[in-house]
Chains A and B, each alone.
Chain A
Amino acid sequence: MKALPDPGLPPRPQRPPAPAARPADRRAGHTRIATEALSSIARGVAGEVLGIPPSDVRVVLNDEFGSLALLLSVPLPLRPLAAPQPLAPVWERARNARATVRERFTALTGTHVGRVDVRVTGILLETGRRPA
């Protein structure tokens, strides 16, 4: 995993490799990816990156000057403060997820993503034993 670019201002995403990358077996016909498919992928990717069940991810797809904007509403897991391995702060995780989500999403769908917004809507408390 390479270092994530500064998530503050996302750099212009690079185009995914053109489908013509495999010229030998190019055959006629269109490929279309339905919106349903894009949002399912977005939920899967966000769940994977943030470590939450994909069913907890809400996603809204929007147009961002011709590329795609993802708005993810997610709850984030939190461990009790006394846990042996505390998680990174919520803010940090949400911020860092944006670039990774975009990278994975573009790899899977070939779709230009111009913007990823993450809205933390709740906390999934990892209920461990409370320190006595």
Chain B
Amino acid sequence: MDQEPTPATPAVPGALPAGNTSVTPAAVAKVAAAAASAVRGVHALGTASPRAFGALREAVAHDAVLGVAAEVGTTQAAVDIVLTAEYGRPLYDLADDVRAAVHDAVEHQTGLQVIEVNVEIGDVHVPGLHDGHPGTDRQ
């Protein structure tokens, strides 16, 4: 990890003992993933087709949570989410709800200030459509 060394803590008597607390991107991503999956209308995180978030996966080659990428600084965090929506809800409402839920969850659980939460609706799960390849399935 590219954590910078512990900054010199002000030597205030009675302050916390020296030490560094950091939250890793993986932790933030997991918190974000849990919050996003709980939103009504989210079918799954990530998309069925892997190429859609290839760029995203590249950005966090290791410790990736499917469909979620987090960037974490010392006091701030930013989260990118790709998800598959459930058919039936207006997508922008859904995205706003996901953004709000992730924002609150990450701020609350990690204490980091969330700068932005980018939401990409990568696909939509339509009942009766998702199985098989489009164009080949016929019932």
Binding site for B on A (CB under 8 A): 16, 19, 22, 25, 27-34, 36-37, 40-41, 43-44, 47, 53-56, 58, 107-110
What CA separation (Å) do A3 and B132 show in the bound complex?
Answer: 37
Provide the residues of chain B in CB contact with A53, threshold 8 Å: 128-129, 139
Q: Could you tell me which B residues sit within 8 Å of A by CB distance?
A: 47, 49, 52, 85, 87-92, 95-96, 99-100, 103, 114-129, 132, 134-135, 137-139
- B2 → A minimal CB distance (Å): 24
Within 8 Å CB of A25, what residues of B? 96, 100
Taking CB as reference atom, which chain A residue is nearest B124? A40
Main secondary structure of the interface of B (DSSP, over half): mixed
Assembly CA distance A33 to B47 (angstroms): 12
Contact B92 A37 (CB under 8 A): no
Q: Which 5 A-B pairs have the closest CB atoms?
A: A44-B126, A40-B124, A31-B95, A28-B116, A29-B116
Smallest CB separation, A31 vs chain B (Å)? 4
CB pair A30–B118 under 8 Å, yes or no, is: yes
Across-interface contacts of A56 in B (CB, < 8 A)? 138
The verdict on A32 contacting B85 (CB below 8 Å), with A40-B124, A43-B126, A54-B126 known, is: no
Contact check: which of A30, A47, A54, A108 meets B91 at CB < 8 Å?
Answer: A108
Q: Which residues from chain A contact B129 at a C-beta distance below 8 Å?
A: 40, 43-44, 47, 53-55
Q: How far is the CA of A34 from the CA of B48 in the complex (A)?
A: 13
The reply to whether A31 and B138 contact each other, CB–CB distance below 8 Å, is no
B124 contact set on A, CB distance < 8 A: 36-37, 40-41, 44
Q: A47 — which chain B residues lie within 8 A by C-beta?
A: 126, 128-129
B128 touches A55 (CB 8 A): yes
Closest Cβ of chain A to B118, distance in Å, is: 5
